[in-house]
Amino acid sequence: MLRAVRITCPICKTVLENAPENHEPRPFCSARCKLVDLGNWLNESYRIPTAERPEGSEGEFGPS
């Protein structure tokens, strides 16, 4: 038996109460929001922070 879960869509912030545990577009509320998120990744709207220095900056001991 599947239990109901509460899902808050990260795109549109819609809250789905009592959604089935196997809700297909999870964690999104719909296929549309799932595609919007994919588009955000493909358009490089999301960035993952790194510890890299910008190009052209010198390290602690000067250029390599």
The model's pLDDT over 6-61, given as tens digits with 9 standing for 90+, comes to 999 999 999 999 999 999 999 999 999 999 999 999 999 998 888 877 676 665 65
Beta bridge partners of 15: 8
Say if residues 5 and 21 touch (Cβ distance below 8 Å). Answer: yes
CA distances 27 to 6, 31, 35, 38, 47, Å, are 10, 10, 12, 13, 20
Cα–Cα dist 17/33, whole Å: 17
Helix (H) or strand (E) holding 19, with range, is strand 15-20
Q: Is the pTM of this model over 0.85?
A: no
Q: Which domains does the chain have, with CATH numbers?
A: 4-42 (3.30.50.10)
